[in-house]
Structure 1
Amino acid sequence: MGGWHQLYPGHIPTSPLQKALLAAGSAVMALCDPYRHDMVAVLGETTGCLALPNLRDKMKNHPEGYRILQERPRIRLSTLDMARLQGLPDGSLGREYVRFLEDNKVSPDTRMPPKFVDDEELAYVIQRYREVHDLMHTLLGMPTNMLGEVVVKWFEAIQTGLPMCVLGAAFGPVRLSTRKLQVLATELVPWAIRSGLNSSCVLNIYYEQRWEQPVESLREELGIFPPPAVPV
């Protein structure tokens, strides 16, 4: 059985049938409870076989993205100088990222390591996608409540093509109130789609070297339109 060995720490080799079963089971669990991040992670890995190589190619064909693939930076508490980021000016990417983490009581260390991606480089690509997810919230000006998550998922679905994001974008709104659904449909989703289509690939930004850059400047560089207000 060639290739059936561990490609990176934590890797679990699986057959196409096993991946299909894992995808189906994790999709059901994730739809029942969108906050089951472990199930969302499994779904992303078992259904990303087409999207992940495409994302890797986008990174390889971009100077900054290529450097990220070569250097394999990680966004974790152990790699972040939190005191320095807290001391940066208001409006800078680093300061607003830390503010987002503090306000929403989230940590970059909660991101699941990949297990079911049968390619070591693609495993890093999905790891990177997960670790910049909170930076997407920061760039898009979206909170971590269900409304904010759905908006980010729409943007990520357009950007990445990952079926997990498409599923989250499509089924995430089912728990929202009528008022929030109306704002989502008329303002937030159209903005997220336009921004996702207009923006260059968000995985091609070496965020760790951009902490001092103003968020507004990075939005303009990427092509993300100014975010609309989100109802509480």
Structure 2
Amino acid sequence: MVDPNTLSLPDNASLFTRLRVALQCLQVLKDDPANPTCGQLINICLDLNVYATLVQRLQGSEEGRRMLSERPSLQGEDLDLAALERLPEGTLGHEFARYFRDNKISPFKTTLELKNDIDFIGKRYRETHDVLHLLTGYGTDVMGEMELQAYALGNLGIQTAKLILAFGTLEQFKQPQSGVARSEYLRRLKAAYQRGRASQLFLDVWFEHHWETPVAVLSTRLCAPAKQLN
């Protein structure tokens, strides 16, 4: 059994080392999918190049440089969910707080030290996952989670999402859990991927500035329309 507390990724780790640590993280996540250490670490192992490209993009604008400098956080300890829920219904803040209450879950939390901008982007990707559920409308059931992974793959090219989709699809075909037929399952993943490709990059967005913005307005602004499947 892998002890997640002993896992870490050395600076300038080789591809072999990153793959080894990623596989160890997968072992942990199979039994503990919400593990805060392995959840972020596996993203950093597989998506260093993706995150490096995103860092360069942010460095190209004043707002992006400010985000990298201030490193806003959507971790539980940095959120006042009670205050957010008091905002008007339909606003991002209210719906974000209600999302956690209704699903009986807590906001993302990590114990990893942020040593550089790439680490921050890895953390930011993980902690925006729940915001994306609200903006895209994808559910938190098996099908919805796979659609969100397909969306992230299309939007950012996240390699971890590709791995999750591969394993999830194999499991779905061996022992269906999503409640949909194989053909519909694949059509929905394809549609979510294409929607992600057509949408604005979501890691450029400072969601903390939009708590009072209606979810519907923000979704229209950031997300391409969802295709209707026949």
TM-score between the two structures when normalised by the length of structure 1:
0.79
RMSD: 2.8
Contact 1:195-1:223 at 8 Å conserved across structures:
yes
State the Cα distance separating 1:216 from its structure 2 match. Answer: 1.4
- 1:107 match: 106
2:127 to 127, 131, 142: 131
Partner deviation per Cα, 1:156-213 (whole Å, 9 max, x = no partner): 1122222111111222132334742443223x32331222111111011111110111
Q: Percent identity?
A: 26
SS in 1 for 2:77: coil
TM-score (normalizing by structure 2) = 0.80
For 2:9 and 2:63, the matched residues in 1 are separated by 30
Equivalence map 1:1-232=2 (5 Å): 13=10, 15-16=13-14, 17-27=16-26, 30=29, 32-33=30-31, 35=33, 37=35, 38-108=37-107, 110-114=108-112, 120-173=116-169, 174-175=171-172, 176-177=176-177, 179-180=179-180, 181-186=182-187, 188-226=188-226
Task: Look up the equivalent residue of 2:110 and give its one-letter code.
Answer: M
Matched residue of 1:142: which SS? Answer: coil
- The more displaced of 192-201 and 39-48 is 39-48
CA distance in 1, matches of 2:71, 2:45: 22
Could you tell me whether the CA contact under 8 Å between 1:143 and 1:149 is conserved in 2? yes
Secondary structure of 2:76's aligned partner: coil
Cα distance, 1:27 vs structure 2: 4.1
Q: Which runs of 5 or more structure 2 residues have no equivalent in the other structure?
A: 1-6
Q: Distance in 2 between matches of 1:121 and 1:12?
A: 15
Alignment partners' CA distance in 1, 2:178 and 2:213: 38
**Aligned counterparts of 2:39 and 2:183: Cα–Cα separation in 1:** 26
What whole-Å deviation, never above 9, does each CA across 1:85-130 have from its counterpart, x for those lacking one? 111222211111111111111212x433446x8x611111111111
> Higher mean Cα deviation, 34-43 or 143-152?
34-43
Structure 1 regions of 5+ residues with no counterpart? 1-9
C-alpha contact 1:191 1:225 (8 A) present in aligned 2: no
| Closer/same/farther in 2, CA of residues 140 and 60 from structure 1, 3 Å limit | same
